[in-house]
Amino acid sequence: MRSVTILGATGSVGRATLDLIERAPEGAFSVVALTANSNVQDLAQAARRVNAQFCAVADAGQGAALADALSGTSIRHGAGPDAVLDAAQLPADWVMAAIVGAAGLPPTLAAVRRGAFVALANKEALVCAGPLFMEAARKSGATLLPVDSEHNAIFQSFDEDHRGGIRRIILTASGGPFRNASKERMAAATPAQAVAHPTWSMGAKISVDSATMFNKGLEIIEACHLFDLPDDRVDVLVHPESIVHGLVEYADGGLLAQLGEPDMRTPIGHALAWPARMETPVKRLDLAQLSDLSFHALDDDRFPGPSIARAAFRAGGCAPAVLNAANEIAVDAFLNGKIGFLDIAGVVSDALEQAQTEGFGARAPNDFDAVYAADRQGRRFASDTVQDRLQSSKRA
Ligand code: NAD
Ligand code: MG
């Protein structure tokens, strides 16, 4: 029996993980802890269904509501960010890191530091703190299992024992809802249009990231850290069907890839059972029915996110943490109607520029406190830019 904890159990990836655990044969998994940000009803319901030992809600104001929702059970519970950390620290063999954003870094790191098998969906943690995070995993002996579909595909295709034979890796991108949209249409895009992803069903933040393609930018950085590659060996191809999730090109000209229907339960199931395999209810890929698999180069002009992210990765230091923080603020501002869709990239670039001007971005963080400081600074820079844009749009 494998004991598991799910950080971010009420989200898209968290719910898909619960779905697999609940379908698995009796006795395959036992649930140690579940966490959520504020949705105590869904959290408590899930905890009752899987008979979790402990539940944590990050919003300290929801503690009483969680206690209420769990009344009559023996499930222990806590509220506030420290309770989420406690959940990560409980001795589960396997932890799904599916909190969205840099908020997921401290609990994910806690699971890494105790040497767990960590299924990593939370790419932002790796973007902000890549080198320190990977070093923490090496020190503790934690096993990182990539869950992001592209990275999971590459993990399965990557011959770690013969790295010398690997030329490059390729992340595929669906292109999102605005793959063929004009700049005019993108400028007028509403939050509802931006989160309506053509192939994947995901949380709001990553859906907007897919629409801007900053998601692919974050994933380039994620891949560089996970597979220890320079960014010029990490390529991106637009592949609207989302069937081929990632590829590894070898010196002999061969490519290895992983294919499947766009359903996160395949990579989550791969990580849940790793190194074995498990049944999932995912629709089987019917290759005979596939009329077309297409691949295109990225359009940098309409989608500057990946190249902005590459530049931040190359700049190093605190630039990736600033990039991630600024993107989180910009996405939130867009979802709240404060800025337009095309302003997201502008807010991120401005924040990175400001960090560079102040000599802030260049200093490499030598501990996690420096990463958290860079994250806060990036949020401040981006919030200021959002305010400026709001003021000038009101004047106009
Ligand atoms: P989501 O918004 O659906 O869920 C996020 C989860 O995190 C929820 O359980 C929420 O309660 C929790 N949460 C949010 N803010 C929190 C905070 N401050 N403290 C503690 N908990 C908090 O997001 P999602 O789509 O499931 O994505 C989760 C992560 O997985 C993201 O990093 C995303 O990039 C990555 N990912 C998601 C998908 C996907 O298909 N959804 C695919 C690849 C990678
Ligand atoms: Mg992905």
Find the angle CA(309)-CA(262)-CA(231) to the nearest 5 degrees: 25
Kindly state the average pLDDT of the residues 339-367. 90
Half-sphere exposure of 312 (CA within 13 A, CB side): 39
Q: Of all residues in the chain, what percent are helix, strand and coil, respectively (each to 5)?
A: 50, 15, 35
pLDDT in tens, 170-180: 999 999 999 99
Given a cut of 80, is residue 392 above it in pLDDT?
A: yes
Query: Cis link prior to 91 (omega < 30° from 0)?
Result: no
For residue 13, what are its two tokens?
């990836």
DSSP code string of 134-152: HHHHHHHT-EEEE-SHHHH
Looking at residue 365, its pLDDT comes to 87
Looking at residue 118, its pLDDT comes to 98
324 lines ligand 1 (CB under 6 A): no
DSSP 3-state assignment of 49? Answer: helix
Domains annotated for the chain, with CATH where assigned, are 2-146 (3.40.50.720), 163-261 (no CATH), 316-395 (1.10.1740.10)
- Return the ligand number nearest the Cα of 203: 1
Given a cut of 70, is residue 73 above it in pLDDT?
A: yes
84 lines ligand 1 (CB under 6 A): yes
148 lines ligand 1 (CB under 6 A): yes
In Å, what is the CA distance from 242 to each residue of 51, 149, 190, 204, 269? 35, 10, 24, 19, 18
Looking at residue 40, its pLDDT comes to 98
β-pair partners for 143: 117
- 109 CA to centre of own chain: 14
Kindly state the average pLDDT of the residues 157-184. 97
Q: Which atom in ligand 1 lies closest to the alpha carbon of residue 202?
A: 41
Given a cut of 70, is residue 361 above it in pLDDT?
A: no
Looking at residue 374, its pLDDT comes to 95
Kindly state the average pLDDT of the residues 225-247. 98
Measured in angstroms, how far is the CA atom of residue 11 from the centroid of ligand 1?
Answer: 5
Kindly state the average pLDDT of the residues 238-266. 97
Kindly state the average pLDDT of the residues 27-37. 98
Which residue's alpha carbon is at the smallest distance from atom 27 of ligand 1?
100
Band of residue 258 on the pLDDT scale cut at 50, 70, 90:
very high
Given a cut of 80, is residue 2 above it in pLDDT?
A: yes
99 lines ligand 1 (CB under 6 A): yes
Residues 6 or more apart whose Cβ sits within 8 Å of residue 281: 19, 23, 265
pLDDT in tens, 107-144: 999 999 999 999 999 999 999 999 999 999 999 999 99
Given a cut of 90, is residue 358 above it in pLDDT?
A: no
Given a cut of 80, is residue 396 above it in pLDDT?
A: no
Given a cut of 90, is residue 62 above it in pLDDT?
A: yes
Radius of gyration of the chain (CA): 21
Looking at residue 362, its pLDDT comes to 67
In Å, what is the CA distance from 53 to each residue of 76, 87, 195, 302, 321? 6, 10, 34, 48, 34
Kindly state the average pLDDT of the residues 361-383. 91
Closest CA to 283 of 302, 269, 263, 303: 263
Averaged pLDDT score across all residues of the chain: 96
How far is Cα 239 from Cα 170, in angstroms, rounded to an integer?
A: 11
Q: Indicate the burial class of 64 (C-beta count within 10 angstroms; 0-12, 13-18, 19 or more).
A: exposed
Q: What percent of the chain has pLDDT over 70?
A: 99
How far is Cα 341 from Cα 1, in angstroms, rounded to an integer?
A: 46
Kindly state the average pLDDT of the residues 301-311. 98
152 lines ligand 1 (CB under 6 A): no
How far is Cα 371 from Cα 268, in angstroms, rounded to an integer?
A: 28
Residues 6 or more apart whose Cβ sits within 8 Å of residue 139: none
In 10 A of CB 1, how many CB atoms? 9
Given a cut of 90, is residue 291 above it in pLDDT?
A: no
13 lines ligand 1 (CB under 6 A): yes
Measured in angstroms, how far is the CA atom of residue 165 from the centroid of ligand 1?
Answer: 35
How far is Cα 197 from Cα 32, in angstroms, rounded to an integer?
A: 33
How far is Cα 167 from Cα 256, in angstroms, rounded to an integer?
A: 12
Band of residue 395 on the pLDDT scale cut at 50, 70, 90:
confident
242 lines ligand 1 (CB under 6 A): no
Closest CA to 217 of 347, 305, 326: 305
Q: What single-letter amino acid sits at 138?
A: R
C-beta of residue 150 within 8 angstroms of C-beta of residue 171? yes
DSSP 3-state assignment of 256? Answer: strand
- Return the ligand number nearest the Cα of 124: 1
Measured in angstroms, how far is the CA atom of residue 100 from the centroid of ligand 2?
Answer: 13
DSSP 3-state assignment of 129? Answer: helix
Greatest alpha-carbon span in the chain: 63
Given a cut of 90, is residue 197 above it in pLDDT?
A: no
Looking at residue 162, its pLDDT comes to 96
DSSP 3-state assignment of 58? Answer: coil
Given a cut of 70, is residue 265 above it in pLDDT?
A: yes
